[in-house]
Amino acid sequence: MVDWSVYLVTQGSRSRDRTTPEVVRAAVDGGVGVVQLREKVLPARRRYELGREVRRITREADVPLIVNDRVDLAQALSADGVHLGDDDLPVSVARDILGADAVIGRSVSFVDDARAAEEAGADYLGVGAIYATGSKDDIPDDEYAVGPERVAAIAEAVSIPIVGIGGITPDTAAPVVAAGADGVAVITAITDADDPETATRDLKSAVDGARK
């Protein structure tokens, strides 16, 4: 069973002078539940090579590895699944390629899209951007800073797990979970932290506290 509490999305350009594998290892030591290989700016070959390093770490820790966007890369890395956006392959096509056991996620910002993703066979949803964020470029205004209220509306509409994403920190995670999210997905809250391991623990503590 996947622990959605703290979901790390990697981005080397926002990891100070640390490598992505170093950040992932620290997050694993801090109790991260899921790791997503993002690294959109890298060429496919470099992303694959980096993914192999990250895959070794996550496999040893028994932490699921999800690949952002690229179904072919997920397959090449024997990753646990893929996370898809509006411009990526449909969920049903990814399922046909990766198989029934793959974990397939879908980014959504609206209730109708959430319902459609669930009906298409998505295993979980990334909902956001919850708060203002500098980690993602060109987010449409109606998908930006949608707030925990949008999480609540989507949680009411679907039965699959939800992770909130976008500008979330240990100080802002609790309202997202209280609204119905199963966990929080973050980039800079871990990658840019002074101590990624401690930041992961702080996020997990905030999520666990909001569930009580």
What are the residue numbers of the active site?
38, 107, 136
Query: For residue 40, what are the contacts with CB-CB under 8 A and spacing of at least 6?
Result: 68, 69
Which CA distances in Å does 23 have to 40, 203, 205? Answer: 17, 15, 19
Count of alpha carbons within 13 angstroms of residue 211, beta-carbon side = 12
Number of residues that make up the chain: 212
Q: Which two tokens stand for residue 67?
A: 């690949």
- Which run of H or E residues covers position 67? strand 65-68
Asked if residue 153 lies in contact with residue 190, where contact means CB atoms within 8 angstroms, the answer is: no
